[in-house]
Structure 1
Amino acid sequence: MTKKEILEAVKFDDKGLVCCVIQDYHAKKVRMVAYMNKEALEKTLETKQMTYWSRSRGELWVKGETSGYYQYMKGLSIDCDGDALLFQVEQVGGISCHTGHATCFYRDLEEDIDVIVNRTKVSKSDIELFNLEATINDRIKNPVEGSYTNYLIEKGENKILKKVGEEATETVIACKDGDKQAIVGEIADLIYHLTVEMGVKEISWSDVFEELKKR
């Protein structure tokens, strides 16, 4: 759909607003829900930077203008009735919620639902892994002076792959030695360097998880 067609298809409520569900482009998890008026939607479509309408302040606000955690539009879908929008966004940094959480939906049902028709519960470790991925992807696109991630990228892929190999070897040695804390540390180093290489190759952990589901 064109921008014009999108604007014509959206049905704003009696307050001139439409509900927007914000989904992480890489992790495929819902980060937040917000509202837009026509002006906010037009600005978002024009700049690709997520702009919302604050119902409490009664004004437009660009996500990240105070926190630094900006969101950039990667895709948009309109529901069948035209009264709700689903945005896929690339999040700068790992925090979407004003409470400091990665997602506004951080309060879960306190019971084990893993057994329900192959549904998988999102754990805190899943969120942390996606946060790591988002941070590394941000460093790739927006280099930061003194960043170790940017140091690796500047040195080139051979340097990254060398570190992946070294950390894999050190993980094996730690496992053979049997020191649990050392094993944890080496696995963390290996995952970090793997995630850097995945970022360079534009591969996400969601891609890896989807492959694992097939096995």
Structure 2
Amino acid sequence: MTIKFDEQTGLVPAIIQDAQTKNVLMLGYMNQESYDKTIDSKMVTFYSRSKGRLWTKGEESGNFLKLVSIKNDCDNDSLLISVLPQGPTCHKGTDTCWAETNDANFGFLTTLEAVIKSRKDNPSDESYVASLFKKGMNKIAQKVGEEAVEVVIEAKDDNEKLFLDESADLLFHYLILLQAKGYTLSDIEKVLKQRHK
């Protein structure tokens, strides 16, 4: 890998990203020696500008960053380092150096989960979601079953639009069912990760 270390400092910025959640955890700096040590040890090692020496993340706290991969940017002057964090990343005890939690994010599905939760917690007569919660678990489970059958039916035909529409309906109602049971996609992800091992 070609890395353009800064001519004056001999350093390159290293962006640390959780390999699973894809959240950015911190920013550090590497020189050639810390890069080489990271590759050899599979534990992320930085060059500490304040201490003037190599510093393996976790050497004091035990919160190591296990190396998954390193990528160069298009100009070869910054690194994206994918890791498996072994505890909080920030020295202040937070998951990230921006005091954010390192929770899984499923993009728009996470946004949709938040909307469903809001409709559950703050029901209105105009909300379809609130009306399902009002009707109770049996109705919600019934809707998931109906949508699942419709997906199976459309899977046997060649109409891609109908198949995708019914698949979206199934996923939407499944998210409602999860909320009704007190769970989220993150809970399902945990089960799938355990099975994957």
Q: TM-score range by the shorter chain?
A: 0.5 to 0.7
Partners of 1:128 and 1:43 in 2: CA distance? 26
1:97 aligns with 90
Give yes or no for contact 2:21–2:103 (8 Å, CA) kept in 1. no
Cα distance, 1:101 vs. partner? Answer: 1.3
Take 1:40 and 1:128, find their aligned partners in 2: how far apart are those partners?
Answer: 25
**Structure-1-length-normalised TM-score:** 0.51
Q: Which of structures 1 and 2 has the bigger CA Rg?
A: 2
Match of 1:32 among 26, 30, 35: 26
Secondary structure, aligned partner of 1:201: helix
Paired amino acid for 1:12: F
1:59 and 2:64 are equivalent in the alignment: no
1:11 counterpart residue number:
4
How far, CA to CA, are the matches of 2:95 and 2:17 in structure 1? 12
Question: What is the CA–CA distance in structure 2 between the aligned matches of 1:100 and 1:85, rounded to whole Å?
Answer: 24
How far apart are the structure 1 equivalents of 2:9 and 2:72? 19
- Give, in angstroms, the shift of residue 195 of structure 1: 5.3
- Percent of residue pairs bearing the same amino acid type: 36
Unaligned runs of at least 5 residues, structure 2: 105-136, 138-178
TM-score when normalising by structure 2 = 0.55
Instruction: Write out aligned runs for 1:109-124 (5 A).
Output: none
CA apart distance, 1:202: 3.7
Matching residue's letter, 1:187 = G
Tell me, in whole angstroms, the C-alpha distance in 1 between the residues paired with 2:43 and 2:195.
24
**Judging changes above 3 Å, is the alpha-carbon distance between structure 1 residues 51 and 128 closer, same or farther for their aligned structure 2 residues?**
closer
- CA drift of 1:16 comes to 0.9
Q: 1 CA distance for matches of 2:98 and 2:63?
A: 17
- Where does the alignment leave 5 or more consecutive residues of structure 1 unmatched? 1-5, 107-123, 131-171, 173-183, 204-215
Cα displacement string for residues 51-97 of structure 1 (whole angstroms, at most 9, x for unaligned residues): 1111000111111111111111111110111110011111112x111
Aligned residue runs from structure 1 range 1-215, under 5 A: 6=1, 9-13=2-6, 14-93=8-87, 95-106=88-99, 127=101, 129-130=103-104, 187=182, 194=188, 196-202=190-196
Deviation at 1:192, TM superposition (A): 8.4
The structural deviation recorded for 1:100 is 1.6
In structure 2, give the amino acid aligned to 1:98.
H
Inter-CA distance 61–199: structure 2 relative to 1 (3 Å threshold): same
Q: How many residues align?
A: 128
